[in-house]
Structure 1
Amino acid sequence: MQKKSIALAIGLFVVGGLSGMVLEHFRPIVRAHAEVSLGTAQKLFDAVTHGRAKADKVFSGPGGLTGVEVDFDGHKTVAFITADGKYLVAGPVLNAQGNDQGHAAMIRLGLVPKPMRASALAKETVHADSFVLGTGGPEITAFVDPNCIFCHKFYERAQPLIAAGKLRIRYLVVGFLKPSSEAKAAAILGAPNPAAAMAENEKGFVEATEEGGIQPDEHASAATISAVRDNTRLLSESGEIATPTLIYCDQKGAPRLIHGLPKGSLKDFAGHIGNLQNGVCRK
């Protein structure tokens, strides 16, 4: 891996553990048992990031790794270093259950907020800048980024259900995946008809480059940019900045949250959920 690529990997990790899942339990951070000193960690970061990253503290990580709290271009994150101090792990560190140890450490260190419960987050989204596609069926809330390929697939799969009156989706558009994401999100939310703007983005979506089709609005109003950033902040309170993130009601009337696409077919998913409106589950 090139040094530039490693720096980029750390930068992606800063965004919020894009591939990570939140651990409910993880062992306490104990600096005394760290295998790699803070000075050694800093030397490695200097070598691979050309001085862009500053190692603030070290702690014991999983599998003999040393965890490092890092300041990367003014953003706090966590990375891991091998016991010999020669190799940097600048991405998700997963256990056998698929849980990301780095993201859990970021919560423990206070670098990212503790995940909000689905019921609380659902109520927080009520006043967010959003729009609804569909007129019948159960309603769910979806956080999407204009450049997210899985959001694009979700949009396409949902269209037949929306057209048949079997699903309604309230979209909260966010912007974090690519440099153009925020301006594209602003182009959608700031449009006279956000649903039509979303359709334009998805119709022109280029899967090869994972780029939404709408033109970025580089001159969006401050209010629109603020709305996009507020939506992105709400997404971060789900515990993971990942799209699509869905909030829905289960058959027992309890709010649920999932990161990514539902398992199985979307048709089956829509047929076994409740109705989420105004932040609460309704019959």
Structure 2
Amino acid sequence: MRPLSLTAGLLSLAAALPLSADTAWPAPIQALVAEGLEVHARFEAPGGLEGFAASHRGREMAVYLTPDGEHAVVGTLIDAEGNDLSAAPLDEHVRRAQETEVWQTLEESHWIRDGDPGAERILYTFTDPNCPYCARFHEQSRPWVEAGRVQLRHVMVGILEHDSPAKAAALLGAEDPARALKAHRRSDDGIAASAQPREIEEQVRANNQRFESLGLMATPTTYYRGDDGRLERVQGAPQEARLIEIMGSPRP
């Protein structure tokens, strides 16, 4: 859709109005909600418009209600200088909230701690036992992990080979998962696939579902919070410059 162009000043943001399950949306917004739109917050917009920060199937979008309350426009609002007036409210009310939800999902996943529990920087990395790039990233991280600067939390998944789920379960179900993971990396053959209690196998399935729900395609995929607190994601074993950025400090 073409952006709505207004000769207005910069967007004046207001605190998001609290939303509740019984919110009576204006008819055009309600029509969009009925089609699956999720409204996260209202915000003030110029030109007599009322803005709604929303998303649909994970894609954020701004919706603007006309002053008569009878029409809604979905798109990007710009001013006479071409400034994007939709980006800030979407970032504040949609992207930041989604980042918080993703981080919480990662915290609640089933992972193996690798590194000092008191390390200032925490990385969640989706790890398949048969993934050579996971092994490479594990090796790349050693200087920071061994220096106590970084804690890796390996979210164990089984997606690459037929025995990946069983190997992931064997690692999660080990008496000392961190030691088992270290031994797996140091051994030529790695950990053997073995039957585990149903509870452990369900943990791997749950991790696999998280992997899919996040729209991920390959391992390792690593999440971390940057210096600005924003959630970052990187796929694969990174090059040196990117590695230093992920680890948050120069190589020890």
**Fold in common (TM above 0.5):** yes
Q: What pairs with 1:182-261 in structure 2 (closer than 5 Å)?
A: 182-205=165-188, 213-217=190-194, 219-261=195-237
**1:168 positional shift:** 0.9
Which contiguous aligned blocks of 4+ residues in structure 1 show a shift greater than 6 angstroms?
A: none
The structure with the larger Rg is 2
Shift of the 224–240 alpha-carbon distance from structure 1 to 2, 3 Å rule, reads: same
Q: Residue by residue, what CA displacement relative to the aligned partner does 1:92-133 show, whole Å, maximum 9, x if unpaired?
A: xxxxxxxxxxxxxxxxxxxxxxxx944322111222221211
Report the equivalent of 1:150.
133
Query: Which of the residues 120, 131, 149 maps onto 2:101?
Result: 120
Determine which structure has greater relative contact order: mean sequence separation of CA pairs < 8 Å that are 6+ residues apart, divided by chain length.
1
Taking only the aligned residue pairs, the percentage that are identical comes to 29
Unaligned runs of 5+ residues in structure 1 are 1-23, 25-115, 206-211, 274-283
Contact 2:224 2:246 survives alignment (8 Å): no
1:271 aligns with 2:244: no
| Whole-Å separation in 1 of the counterparts to 2:213 and 2:159 | 14
Contact 1:244 1:260 survives alignment (8 Å): yes
Q: What pairs with 1:139-178 in structure 2 (closer than 5 Å)?
A: 139-178=122-161
| Whole-Å separation in 1 of the counterparts to 2:245 and 2:223 | 16
Shift of the 238–152 alpha-carbon distance from structure 1 to 2, 3 Å rule, reads: same
Shift of the 130–182 alpha-carbon distance from structure 1 to 2, 3 Å rule, reads: same
| Whole-Å separation in 1 of the counterparts to 2:208 and 2:98 | 17
- TM-score (norm. length: structure 1): 0.50
**1:262 positional shift:** 3.3
**1:271 positional shift:** 2.3
**1:268 positional shift:** 4.4
Shift of the 143–118 alpha-carbon distance from structure 1 to 2, 3 Å rule, reads: farther
| Whole-Å separation in 1 of the counterparts to 2:233 and 2:101 | 11
Contact 1:173 1:231 survives alignment (8 Å): yes
- TM-score (norm. length: structure 2): 0.56
Unaligned runs of 5+ residues in structure 2 are 1-58, 60-96
Contact 1:117 1:238 survives alignment (8 Å): no
